[in-house]
Structures are given as structure tokens and as C-alpha cells.
Amino acid sequence: GAVVSQHPSWVICKSGTSVKIECRSLDFQATTMFWYRQFPKQSLMLMATSNEGSKATYEQGVEKDKFLINHASLTLSTLTVTSAHPEDSSFYICSASSDSSFYNEQFFGPGTRLTVL
Amino acid sequence: RKEVEQDPGPFNVPEGATVAFNCTYSNSASQSFFWYRQDCRKEPKLLMSVYSSGNEDGRFTAQLNRASQYISLLIRDSKLSDSATYLCVVTDTGGFKTIFGAGTRLFVKA
């Protein structure tokens, strides 16, 4: 299957700082990338959907000024958590899909575990 | 009503057992259906896509009933390594909106 990488895999930061998470599709062109958040013992919650070269579409309740998403190329999307607070501590997972896939399946990165102190 | 609903679980089964997971979805216009598995503290991994005619991959069989808006996953001859959370995933046409079920936890015991 297609490979998606994420970096960093885990990060600890102080409250008020900003954290950038990178998501890369390594062996295919990702026309669409998705960002999810998962709290312990809960399912994935979609935060936003981004298409290369255009602004991300945010889900209801997700602050676009707090969670900045950039999808500058067909292989890279970034999520920046600005002015992070302890309640932002979570498991952030990206996924990517390609228009060339008939079923539009998503391939997930390994996730980034964010802890805000 | 949730857009995608799954059996609450957890399922505790012995090795070798057959276990079935059910999933219902509310949007009749949904186009693509998948089962993912997620291990503890890991990302979801695609287990199988679900086709209208049903499909089988080794010990795993997936079925789709569009009329009833129902998807199922059958695991035969359960292995210890099958222990995970199984996520039912539904997407709309074009894959722009993806909804995950809450997941069903499976524990396979020796």
C-alpha cells in the first residue's frame, strides 16, 4: 500500500508555543490530505480536509486560526498548532488519498503525539 | 442518530472463534466503504475496501447491503494478532467527506 510519513512522531512543548507537524506521501501524489485528532479511547475526529494549492476546509468547531493547514504540494501538508494549550494534547494523524484511486481509500501516517505542558 | 454506528463491543473471543462486526450508515448517498484496524496508540491501517458484491481476503469477509445501509465484517479462525479496534469508514462521492465509526474493540484470548 501507499506510504505516508509524519514528523515528528511525538512532541512535548510548553503552553503558548506553536508546533508544526508535517505529513508526506512518499510514493504517490496526494490530491487530498486529511487531518484528524484522536483523544484517548475515542475515535478519530476529522479536523480538516485540504486539497493541494487551495485553502483547507475545516470541520465545524475547529478553529482555523488555531490549526493552520498548508498543502503546498502534492506530497506535503503541514498542520501548525498555534499557541498550544494543555487541552490541545492529543494524537494527531494525517491521511492522504489520490484521485487516481477509484475507491478513494485513505492511507494514514503514523501519527504525532502532542503533549502540551 | 450518528452518521456511522458500530457495535459497541468489546468483543472477547477465544482463538479460533468466528466473530462478526456490524456497521450502519445514515447517508444513502454514501459511495465508498472500508474497514480499518487500529492497534493501541497506532494509526489506522486499511484492512479492506467493501464492494457491493462482497469480498473476501483470507479469513476476512466484508459485506455491503445498500438497501439496508449496512456493512459487516466477518473474521474466521481468530488469531491473537487480530486483537485491535476495527473501524467502519464511509465516504461520500469523491471521498471528500469521510466518517469514521467509533470502532469496535476485539480481544482474542488464548
CA dist list (Å): A105 to A1, B23, B56: 10, 18, 17
Q: Give me chain A's average pLDDT, please.
A: 90
- Residue A59 in contact with partner chain B when CB distance is under 8 A: no
pLDDT at residue A102 is higher than 70: no
For cell 487480530, the residue is B82
Q: For residues A2 and A61, give the distance between their C-alpha atoms in angstroms, rounded to a whole number.
A: 31
A106 with B46: Cβ contact below 8 A:
yes
Q: What is the pLDDT, as a whole number, of residue B51?
A: 82
Q: What is the pLDDT, as a whole number, of residue A77?
A: 94
Q: What percent of chain A has pLDDT over 70?
A: 96
Nearest to B101 among A1, A43, A108 (CB): A43
pLDDT digits (tens, 9 = 90+) for B39-96: 988 888 889 989 888 899 999 999 999 999 999 999 999 999 999 999 999 987 665 6
- Residue B65 in contact with partner chain A when CB distance is under 8 A: no
Q: What is the pLDDT, as a whole number, of residue A42?
A: 81
A107–chain B nearest CA distance, Å: 7
For residue B75 the three cell numbers come to 473474521
Average pLDDT of the residues in A17-42: 91
Q: For residues A6 and A28, give the distance between their C-alpha atoms in angstroms, rounded to a whole number.
A: 15
A105 with B46: Cβ contact below 8 A:
yes
pLDDT digits (tens, 9 = 90+) for A63-85: 999 999 998 888 999 999 999 99
DSSP, collapsed to helix, strand or coil, labels residue A86 as: helix
pLDDT category of residue A31 using cuts at 50, 70 and 90: confident
Residue with the bigger pLDDT between B87 and A99: it is B87
pLDDT at residue A1 is higher than 80: no
Q: Say how many CB pairs under 8 Å bridge A and B.
A: 48
Q: What is the pLDDT, as a whole number, of residue A69?
A: 94
Q: What is the pLDDT, as a whole number, of residue A6?
A: 95
CA dist list (Å): A93 to B23, B44, B71: 23, 9, 25
Contact B108, B15 (CB under 8 A): yes
